[in-house]
Amino acid sequence: MQYPETELIEILKDAGVDFVSSLPCEKIKGLICLLREFDIHVPVTREEEGVGISAGAALAGRRPAMFIQSSGVGNMLNALLSLTVYYRLPLAVFVSRRGLRGEKIKAQIPLGKKLTSVLRASQLGYTIVNSRRDFIKIPEKLKMVYREERPYFFLLNPAIWKNSFEVTESTVSKRPKTGDIDRGMLMLPRPSMRRYEILKTLRWYLKDKVVVCNLGFPSKELYHLFHQPSNFYMLGSMGMATPLGLGIALCSDKEVVVIDGDGSLLMNPGTLATVAFMRPPNLTILAIDNGVYGSTGCQSTHTSVVSNLSVVAKGFGIKNVRTLSTEEDLKKTLKRLGKGPAFVHIIALVGNEPLPPVDLSGREIKEMVKKFISS
């Protein structure tokens, strides 16, 4: 039996697609894993970046395609309209459609519901692909994309991926398990704890502080381990944990701790420059770096191979930067961390604790944290 992922990839190859870029989404993790079959596959850190890279590929004669999820459409619109549309460049965008009935992550619903309206308002064409039977619509539309040199969206229903290609540990890249990691001009220590163990160790430090926690498994794990009224759980908006924490720190005298991840920080690294410029003394960023997008199928981030967040933070101007990987070093560092802004780079093992979603609505989280900040 042919998997839906392999069937779609055959359609793309038959249409001459020879350059692909992607951001992770749990619903299409099998498809993303198989994109390495293309001559060039670029895992990008943000949708706007993918638009720019795809534009360059088109100028060089390639036929580009992007693979994203619904929320990414909002991130890419300005770049798409001012670059791809304005210069008349081709780009096929395959969107893992989130926010439909049965969506477990409620923060995906607002844009998910309005996705087709947003595309129509932007005069961007799209085809809804609800099942494998609808794959028959794709080839002719792909021909149009490259013939007319325009962007076009294919909205992929999650139901397509039943009986899908199975993603296992052997099919995704992981951080090396042994030895030091020579990356970005600095030897990084060997990881010894998963994020869950790190958060367990942090409970004493987080008590009675405003805590902004990264989305997905980090928020679920923190909620399970150490729920308190001052915890802001990110339920969506990847890349926004550190900006949110910075805003609170600049407008409050409360101690603010951001629990962020390598994937989210790579999506919006310029915020670290803003942190360095504004110098809030009450802000600490705990960057738990396991080298993967843990909530979407453990696809590798660039920190697993080439990028060093400690060097990035220092380069942007944050002076109080620490790098560690053991429970003992974490406790010692936090006890004598000193004045912020501080950036604590915690090298972690890959792995998630299987837990249910945060049992709070966005409004409940907001009111809870607002009350604490004003107290």
Asked whether 43 and 306 are in contact (CB, 8 A), the reply is no
242: left (phi over 0), alpha (psi -120 to 50) or beta: alpha
Is residue 85 a part of any domain in this protein? yes
Query: Span 261-281, mean pLDDT?
Result: 89
CATH number at residue 55: 3.40.50.970
Q: Which of 108, 133, 161 is the last residue of a domain?
A: 161
pLDDT given at position 125: 96
pLDDT of residue 261 exceeding 90: yes
Is residue 110 a part of any domain in this protein? yes
Is residue 250 a part of any domain in this protein? yes
Q: What is the pLDDT of residues 289-301, one digit of tens each?
A: 998 877 766 777 8
Q: Does 56 share its domain with 30? A: yes
pTM score over 0.95: no
User: What does the mean pLDDT of the chain come to?
Assistant: 88
Q: Does 211 share its domain with 182? A: yes
Is residue 49 a part of any domain in this protein? yes
Q: What is the pLDDT of residues 132-190, one digit of tens each?
A: 999 999 999 999 999 999 999 999 999 998 877 666 554 554 444 444 555 554 578 88
Query: Number of folded domains in the chain?
Result: 2
> What range defines the domain where residue 242 resides?
173-374
Other C-beta atoms within 10 Å of 361: how many?
11
SS (H, E, C) the chain: CCCHHHHHHHHHHHCCCCEEEECCCHHHHHHHHHHHHCCCEEECCCHHHHHHHHHHHHHCCCCEEEEEEHHHHHHHHHHHHHHHHCCCCCEEEEEECCCCCCCCCHHHHHHHHHHHHHHHHCCCCEEEECCHHHHHHHHHHHHHHHHHCCEEEEEECHHHHCCCCCCCHHHCCCCCCCCCEEECCEEECCCCCEHHHHHHHHHHHHCCCEEEECCCHHHHHHHHHCCCCCEEECCCCCCCHHHHHHHHHHCCCCCEEEEEEHHHHHHCCHHHHHHHHHCCCCEEEEEEECCEECCCCCEECHHHCCCCHHHHHHHHCCCEEEEECCHHHHHHHHHCCCCCCEEEEEECECCCCCCCCCCCCHHHHHHHHHHHHHC
Quote the CA–CA distance of 162 and 94 in Å, as a whole number.
18
Q: Does 189 share its domain with 292? A: yes
Q: Does 152 share its domain with 195? A: no
